[in-house]
Amino acid sequence: MGRHVTRALRDAGYTVHVLVRDPAANVEADRLVVGSLERAGDLVPALAACRYLIHCAALYSFSPRDARRIEQVNVAGTASLLAAARIAGIERAVVTSSSATLGPAHNGRPCTEDDVAVTDGQSPYHRSKILQERAALAARVPTVLVLPTAPVGPGDAKPTPTGRLIVDYARGRIFARPAGAGGLNVVAVEDVARAHVMALERGRPRERYIVGGENLSFSALWDLLAEVTGRPAPRWGIPYWTALGIAHLDDLRCRAFAGATPFAPLEGVRMSQHAMYVNDDKARAELGHRPSPVRAALERAVAWYRRAGYLTGHAAA
């Protein structure tokens, strides 16, 4: 996300200073600032050289071992960064939130910005995004919130849980359709990046803007991935309670072994029961958001993973 936002800002004519943890990071920027959200107070001098702040850094993980650090980075880090921004005289901030803060669709009605999920029963990551929004709305800097759905496209090198889904499918590691009859909204990452620029220029402070693409059932998403990757979609689905049991066992494995990443994230299985659909009319009307086709974004993602070696075993995934 950060690389795409940086590129969109530079394309719009902005001079961009980018916060990185590694001074050797290969990032397109006019200036690199080395630092950490966990020491946001140290960033005041760098922030004082800027007029605006776009905060899209987060720890995006469903691993149970990351739970404590997720809150430190996503919640406390956001609050500290916006406090440092106020001290530095930042005029306006944009914070990347998540459509996870909305909750699932209600009785077939896609969520809007008026919906707010409860923190109870959420995964550490989704709970952190809800609390991050509260911190951003309480900040003393005029702040606009961007709520992307599930971004897909090139450059997800980690990969994030969304990117790992694409990699696993393309590698033939997925043998069944998702449990449950739910779905989600998928959006091109480049569209999300451009929406951040629009939010900076046109968004109203302390307003939330959903940035979505297409509402897709999980079955429809599997069929799209089959077309894009050339791998047949699984014909059979795994019963929900079976999938939930596997996910609980996988959760225990990840708690027991350092460095383990979930192959069946508990949160992902639970979400398969829900239609995480959204209505992004507000962003279209106020920001000028115009989403591009999701299939093309998936094609770009698969092509990038193939070039980078993720689909041949030559890159860590």
Q: What are 270's strand-pairing partners?
A: none
Residues present in the chain in total: 317
Encode 257-296: b = buried (16+ Cβ within 10 Å), e = exposed. eeeebbebbbbbbbbbeebbbbbbebbbeebebebeebee
- In order of their start, the domains of the chain are 2-307 (3.40.50.720)
Round to whole Å and give the CA distance between 251 and 263: 9
**Per-residue model confidence (pLDDT) at position 317:** 46
For residue 294 the two structure tokens come to 């999701």
Give residues with Cβ within 8 angstroms of 244, minimum separation 6.
179, 266, 269, 270
C-alpha distance from residue 64 to each of 68, 88, 159, 160, 251 (Å): 9, 35, 17, 15, 7
SS3 content of the chain, % helix, strand, coil (to 5): 45, 15, 40
**Per-residue model confidence (pLDDT) at position 119:** 78
For residue 76 the two structure tokens come to 């406390």
Q: Specify the residue for token string 């998702």.
A: 178
**Per-residue model confidence (pLDDT) at position 263:** 64
Task: Please list the ranges in the chain whose pLDDT falls under 50.
Answer: 317
Round to whole Å and give the CA distance between 193 and 8: 6
**Per-residue model confidence (pLDDT) at position 236:** 75
**Per-residue model confidence (pLDDT) at position 92:** 98
Helix (H, G, I), strand (E, B) or coil at 92: strand
Residue from 85, 210, 6, 1 nearest 77 by CA:
85
For residue 235 the two structure tokens come to 């014909």
Residue 39: in which H helix or E strand, if any? none
Cα–chain center distance at 251? 21
Q: What is the DSSP code (8-state) at residue 177?
A: B
Tell me the pLDDT tens digit for each residue of 64-119: 777 888 999 999 999 999 999 999 999 999 999 999 899 888 887 999 999 998 87
pTM of the model: 0.90
- The number of beta carbons lying within 10 Å of the beta carbon of residue 126 is 19
